[in-house]
Amino acid sequence: MSGSDVAPAEALPLERLPFQLEPDPRRVLLRPFLPSLVVKPTAAAGHTERLERLAQQRWRDVLASLQPQHPLSGEQRLLLGYYLTHEYALESAALFNPSLVPHPDQGGLPPGSLRVVLSLCATGEGHISSIEFPGGVLHADGRMDLDPVSPFVFQGEITSLNAAEGHYQVTYGPESQLSERVLFPVTARESNGLEDARFVRLAGEDPCWLATATAYDGRGIQCQLITTRDFATFELRPLRGAAVHNKGLAFFPRQIDNQWMLGRQDSENIHLMRSDQVDLWPGSRVLLRPREPWEFIQLGNCGSPLETEAGWLVLTHGVGAVREYCIGAALLDLEDPARVLGRLRHPLLRAAEDERDGYVPNVGIASSNWPFKAPVMVPVVTADQRPVSTGPKRISLPCRLPPLNQGVSRGLPLASATMATPAPKISNPIISTSSQALCRRLPMKRPKASIVAAGMRSIAQVQNRLVNRVGFS
């Protein structure tokens, strides 16, 4: 078979697992309130002890600016604290940008199960976004049990703050549940929200979780670095360097020579970045350019690459006509990620008709993926409204999950190249396909001499060909 030939495509078998998340406007964050309107102190019922501590803290916060003429009783101070507190519905507008990583605590689980942390972007009144952390357990048969979600969300204690540099630390006590924790804007650069967190667990004996996130102040964005070792203490600081001026950055799960990261600096292409400092990225090079019609407008990553024996598997998102988002895939060399081994010619996933309407129409995108036993778990958001709105998509790839202390997972070599089939719709909550079926859909590049002889078509050439084909002038 010649380099330009492809084998017949086979259909992708689909498997549905009944799991989904929906925005819940009843989940509220208790926020400081400087009153112009009075709210009832009984409006936030439940969690009495923690609410009282919050009210007392609010009283202490304003004590310096008050000069009461008479001593106040404990009940009066508590009442004033409640008057200075209000509820903010974190998820009242949308819930999206899901990310999925292993939980630091894997104790007490049945064999073959994995405790996980989901990070979600919650958007509420005034389009202010924050990052939430529901948890759950993935089982070997593909089931996911979501932990009970608290109706109340509490801000952690700011244990360190450098406001000038936007560097701070948030800490939660051991009494707080994972679902009660939220990263809500703290600095001026975050005043309109934190979103698009892409978490990854770094390989090594000392586990550490990194994430990039986008801070927005109503005028411009800033790339933030989030680090944690236990999802109870979070450190946030800005990423620096000429290569971090756009959103959609994702770390590799381990160092390759120096530190590597994927990003999109020019709102069109996927770039490869390298640096020996995790928070300083001085430059980048173009790695993947839009090539197919479904990715003409923009190409980005769907979170951190997955390591297999065949190479780094990168899920991508492409933006095409009427800004429809689809999910694709590419394969990079293990030791030299700048070398692209292959990429899908057709989308792997795209939004179904009943998933197109929402906060941002025509969107189907993931922010992370994790190799879990035979399949890879991919939480997908549709219409930027409901994360895993029809459930996470499970794609059986050549990956297996080792013990967590043995680093990243590896898998089987990819099969020979074939043409990818048209994308299955993501109306099914879990999409499962054999590793052979998906891997054969990654057309491998020809030897270097053949590539040079064939030439690389630029995006402009492809666009011109499409324009001529459909008869636009």
Least confident of 167-171, 230-234, 328-332: 328-332
The pLDDT assigned to 381 comes to 52
Beta strands in 320-360 (DSSP E): 325-332, 340-343, 349-350
pLDDT at 5 over 50: no
Q: Residue 426 has what pLDDT?
A: 33
Nearest Cα to Cα of residue 89 among 139, 149, 23: 23
- Angle made by CA atoms 201, 204, 208, in degrees to the nearest 5: 40
What is the β-pairing status of strands 152-155 and 181-183? parallel
**In terms of Cα–Cα distance, which of 384, 244, 425, 274 is closest to 337?**
274
pLDDT above 90 (res 464): no
Q: What is the mean pLDDT of residues 383-408?
A: 32
Query: Which residue did the predictor score with more confidence, 263 or 269?
Result: 269
pLDDT, greater one: 436 or 279: 279
Rounded mean pLDDT of 289-301? Answer: 92
**pLDDT recorded at residue 366:** 52
Q: What is the pLDDT of residues 10-59, one digit of tens each?
A: 444 445 455 667 778 778 886 765 544 343 444 444 456 667 777 777 77
- What mean pLDDT, rounded, does the chain reach? 71
Q: Across 67-76, 119-128, 364-373, 457-466, which has the greatest mean pLDDT?
A: 119-128
SS3 227: strand
Looking at per-residue confidence, does 38 or 283 come out higher? 283
Phi, psi of 236 (to 5 degrees): -125, 135
Whether residue 219 has pLDDT greater than 50: yes
What are the chain's domains? 28-87 (no CATH), 90-462 (2.115.10.20)
Centroid of chain to Cα 258: 23
| Residue 274 bridge partners (DSSP) | 260
Output the CA torsion 21→22→26→27 (10° steps): 40
Regarding predicted confidence, which is higher, 277 or 460? 277
Model pTM?
A: 0.73
How distant, in Å, are the alpha carbons of 195, 224, 260 from that of 221? 10, 9, 22
pLDDT band of 172, cuts 50, 70, 90: very high
User: How do residues 228-261 score in pLDDT, each as one tens digit?
Assistant: 999 999 999 999 998 888 888 999 999 888 778 8
Average pLDDT over residues 123-151: 88
Of 57 and 104, the structure prediction assigns the larger pLDDT to: 104
Residue 197: closest CA among 104, 142, 255, 129:
129
